[in-house]
Amino acid sequence: MYPENEIFREGLDQLAEHYREVLKLVGEDPDREGLQKTPMRVAKAMQVLTRGYEMDAHKVLTDALFREDYSQMVIVKDIDFFSLCEHHMLPFYGKVHVAYIPNGYITGLSKIARVVDIYSHRLQVQERLTLQIKECIQQTLKPLGVMVVVEARHMCMQMRGVEKQNSITTTSDFCGAFNQAKTRQEFMNLLHNDKNNL
């Protein structure tokens, strides 16, 4: 259910009309009772699922930028995300783990999760999502290094195609201090140790 005060983007009615045509093309009757409101429901859902196009991830970080003399690893892990694969427009979902080493500035911890939210609410591929999160943090905070790991399940693999139910895809990207294998390993060790302790 959508809040009554939710503001939807321009083009909502046209989007709903297209979904009405889609229902016809797959063999359904959009005028039958159960489907009469479906085109508008789907149009609203699609606007929510792609709301990231209208948001500025860099601004989210700069709005909560603080001077701090801290130069050890900051990790925000297990950030849940949901996105739509741009190839089939089916969901993929999982967790994002982010680490950065500050270089004079830190940001609010919730802002890292907001960056993930913004980029995941666009049509995506997992590889690009990983890169965009890393680049946003690197370009905005200018830390000594950033590393991002994304673990996801893809419905396009589970519901169609090879139909493999238990496969997980992992991607990573890093720069700066994380180019050193020792620093990357420290991050990965902290991720695995924390998971084992939960």
Residue type, 103: N
Q: Which of 47, 121, 132, 154 is catalytic?
A: 154
Is 58 tagged catalytic? no
CA distance linking residue 93 with residue 60, whole number of Å: 22
Q: Which residues contact 29 (CB under 8 A, 6 or more apart)?
A: 23, 35
Q: Is 87 a catalytic residue?
A: yes
> Catalytic: 68?
no
User: What one-character DSSP code corresponds to residue 189?
Assistant: H
18 is an active site residue: no
For the question of residue 154 being annotated catalytic, the response is: yes
Catalytic hit among 85, 132, 136, 138: 85
Main-chain phi, psi angles of 147, to 5 degrees: -140, 135
Q: From the candidates 6, 21, 87, 192, which is the catalytic residue?
A: 87
Catalytic residue among 88, 135, 151, 158: 88
Catalytic residue (choose from 28, 135, 156, 175): 156
The residue to which tokens 């009405």 are assigned:
20
* Catalytic option among 36, 86, 127, 139: 86
Catalytic annotation, residues: 85-88, 126, 154, 156
